[in-house]
Structure 1
Amino acid sequence: MLSIGEFSKICEVSTKTLRYYDEIGLITPDQINPENGYRYYSIKQLKKMLFINRLKSYHFSLDEIKAILELDKNQSEDHLYSALHSKRREIQSKLNAFEYTLNQMSADILAMEKGLSVLSYIDELEVKLVETQPLNILCMRQMLTSDDHAAGYGKYFSRLYEIIAREKLTLLGTPMTIYHRAEYNPAGNDTEFAISIKETVKGTRDLSGGLCAMSVLKGSYSQLTSVYAKLREWVEVEGYELVNSPYEIYVTDPNHATDPEEIITEVYFPVKKK
Structure 2
Amino acid sequence: MLSIGEFSKICGVSAKTLRYYDEIGLIKPDEVNEENGYRYYSIKQLKKMLLINRLKTYNFSLEDINIFLEWEEEQLEEKLCFALHHKKREMKDKINALEHTLKQISNDLLHLEKGIPIMSYMDNIDIQLVETQPMNVLSIRQMIDYAQGYGTYFNRLYALIATEKLTLLGKQMTIYHSPEYNPAGHDTEFAIPIEETVKGTRVLPRSLCAKSILKGSYSELTSVYARLWEWIENEQYELVNSPFEIYITNPNQATAPEELITEVYFPVKKK
User: Quick check: TM above 0.5?
Assistant: yes
Counterpart residue number, 2:25 = 25
Partner SS for 1:268: strand
Partner residue, 2:146: 146
Shift of 1:147: 2.1
**Which of 197, 200, 205 is the matching residue for 2:202?**
205
1:226 to 223, 228, 232: 223
- Kindly report which structure 2 residues correspond to 1:243-254, keeping only aligned pairs within 5 A, or say none: 243-254=240-251
Q: Normalising by structure 1, report the TM-score.
A: 0.97
User: Is 1:81 aligned to 2:81, yes or no?
Assistant: yes
Paired residue for 1:177, among 152, 174, 177?
174
Deviation at 1:145, TM superposition (A): 2.3
Equivalent residue, structure 2, for 1:94: 94
Task: Encode CA deviations 1:82-101: one digit per residue, 9 max, x unaligned.
Answer: 11111111111110110000
Q: Structure 2: which 5+ residue stretches go unaligned? A: none
* 1:33 shift after superposition: 1.2
Does residue 204 of structure 2 align to residue 187 of structure 1?
A: no
> With structure 2 as the length reference, what TM-score do the two structures score?
0.98
| Letter of the 1:256 counterpart | Q
2:251 partner amino acid = P
* Residues 103-158 of structure 1: per-residue CA shift (max 9 Å, x gap): 0000000010111121111111101101100100100011112123x2xx011111
Matches of 1:89 and 1:246, distance apart in 2 = 30
Following superposition, the deviation at residue 81 of structure 1 comes to: 1.3
Corresponding residue of 2:44: 44
Name which of 164, 168, 173 aligns with 2:165.
Answer: 168
**Residue 233 (structure 1) shift:** 0.4
4+ long deviations beyond 4 Å: none
Residue 159 of structure 1: which of 156, 159, 169 is its match? 156
Q: Which amino acid aligns with 2:202?
A: R
The amino acid of 2:228's aligned partner reads L
Aligned to 2:119: 119
Distance (whole Å) between structure 1 residues aligned to residue 263 and residue 25 of structure 2? 48
How far, CA to CA, are the matches of 2:176 and 2:209 in structure 1? 15
**Residue 32 (structure 1) shift:** 1.1
Question: Separation in 1 of the partners of 2:93 and 2:64?
Answer: 19
Separation (CA, whole Å) in 1 of partners of 2:86 and 2:168: 29
Partner of 1:9 in structure 2? 9
Q: Percent identity?
A: 68
Gaps of 5+ in 1: none
2:67 counterpart residue number = 67
